Amino acid sequence: MDNTDGGALTAGARAHSNIALAKYWGKRDSALNIPAVGSISVTLDALYTDTTVSFTSDLTQDEFTLNGELQPSGQVSLRRVGDALDRVRKLAGLDRAATVSSVNNFPTGAGLASSASGFAALVVAACAAAGVAASPRELSVLARRGSASAARSIFGGFVELHTGASEDGSDSFAEELLDGAAWPLSVIVAITDESAKPVSSTEGMQSTSASSPFYPAWVADAPSNLDRMREAILARDFATVGELTEHSCLALHSLMFTTRPALIYWNAATVAAIHAVRAVRDGGIPVYFTIDAGPQVKAVCLPQNADTVAEALSAVPGVRAVIRSGLGPAARVLGTATAGTL
């Protein structure tokens, strides 16, 4: 790969966010960031992160600019990026600091999976810049170390992340379950609050596993839900996928409500949007809601019903914006060039 210029090794990448239909929450190994249960998501076309990584001999420390803001030293977001870069540097045998610039085209830290698209884009760009020829599976493991949901954003369409059994997490990777084009669903995202959540997903799930009396039941119940979700997707059984999706979402939020101190990511508009989705469904249109660690509601429906669902969610008091998405592609390198020109 000819990506050197003036001592810089540079590459850019785009990765799309995803929304889990069968969710994970909690880690079986926090240090290695291995999820406690498996999960299944869809990658979202409309929400993505663009990241440029440049390893350069001019710097002594990594620099990370997120959405145009240089992250101060000591900030957790910089530390997480630096740790991900360290893993790539080790594979490449590279001893250079990097400058990283990343932009999310949607609100950051607000329950729309910016950590998923962010760490997937980061590892794809960093490996390309450093000349590491990683397979999609290896990229997925690298992305998972940054943020578990990021393992899924390496792939497009319907994606499963395995919890695995090995102590080192080498079998905790994601893989494509079904190509998005084979079953093109729509996801309508209702934004109720763009601000970053008060408790990050990483902190929230640590607190849940330490304090919710429901946590052991969640871990015990997850494998059968996951199996049923996988079968329903492969059978293109939308009603069953939808029912399992809402069940997984409400089980997750029950865990959050019973965490001490309680995690209540919802606001009044979140609840109103849930009822709006149920009302549309009662009117005969198959549509199902899901919600991550944040106040935004995603409605999963068939493409022919996307207009009706988007209109219904736009009319909900407190819904500030509605984003329509199809299923998105895998993470990819955008190009290699001189630093700053991507």
Binding site for ligand ADP (CB under 6 A): 49, 66, 77, 80-81, 102, 104, 108-116, 118-119, 122, 200-201, 292-294
Question: What are the residues whose beta carbons fall under 8 Å from the beta carbon of 74, sequence distance 6 or more?
Answer: none
Q: Which residue's C-beta sits nearest to ligand ADP? A: 118
Please identify which residue in 81, 106, 292, 313 interacts with ligand DP6, judged by CB under 6 A: 292
Cβ closer to ligand ADP: 111 or 242? 111
DSSP 274-330: HHHHHHHHHTT--EEEE--SSS-EEEEE-GGGHHHHHHHHHTSTT--EEEEE-B---
> By CB under 6 A, what part of segment 89-128 binds ligand DP6?
113, 115
Q: Which residues lie closer than 8 Å to 279 by C-beta, 6 or more apart? A: 312
Q: How far is the CB of 181 from ligand ADP (least distance, A)?
A: 26
Residue 128 contact among ligand ADP, ligand DP6, none, beta carbon within 5 to 8 Å by kind: none
Distance, CA of 254 to CA of 244 (rounded, Å): 15
- In the chain the first and final C-alpha atoms are separated, in Å, by 16
Footprint of ligand DP6 on residues 298-337 (CB under 6 A)?
A: none
3-state secondary structure at position 46: strand
Q: Is 148 in the site for ligand DP6 (CB under 6 A)?
A: yes
Residues 6+ positions from 250 with CB-CB distance below 8 Å: none
Whole-number minimum distance, CB 64 to ligand ADP, in Å? 7
Alpha carbon distance 297, 106 (integer Å):
14
Q: How far is the CB of 146 from ligand ADP (least distance, A)?
A: 7
The listed partner (ligand DP6, ligand ADP, none) that binds 190, CB under 5 to 8 Å by sort, is none
54 vs 117, which CB is nearer to ligand DP6?
A: 117
> Per the structure block, which two tokens stand in for 240?
């069953």
Do residues 42 and 117 make contact, with C-beta atoms less than 8 angstroms apart?
no
- Least Å from the CB of residue 183 to ligand ADP: 25
Q: Which of ligand ADP, ligand DP6, none does residue 23 bind to, with CB < 5 to 8 Å depending on kind?
A: ligand DP6
One DSSP character per residue, 103-150 reads EESS-TTSSS-HHHHHHHHHHHHHHHHHT----HHHHHHHHHHH-GGG
Of positions 3, 101, 149, 245, contacts ligand DP6 by CB under 6 A: 149
Q: Which residues bind ligand DP6 (CB under 6 A)?
A: 20, 23-25, 33, 39, 113, 115, 147-149, 201-202, 292-293
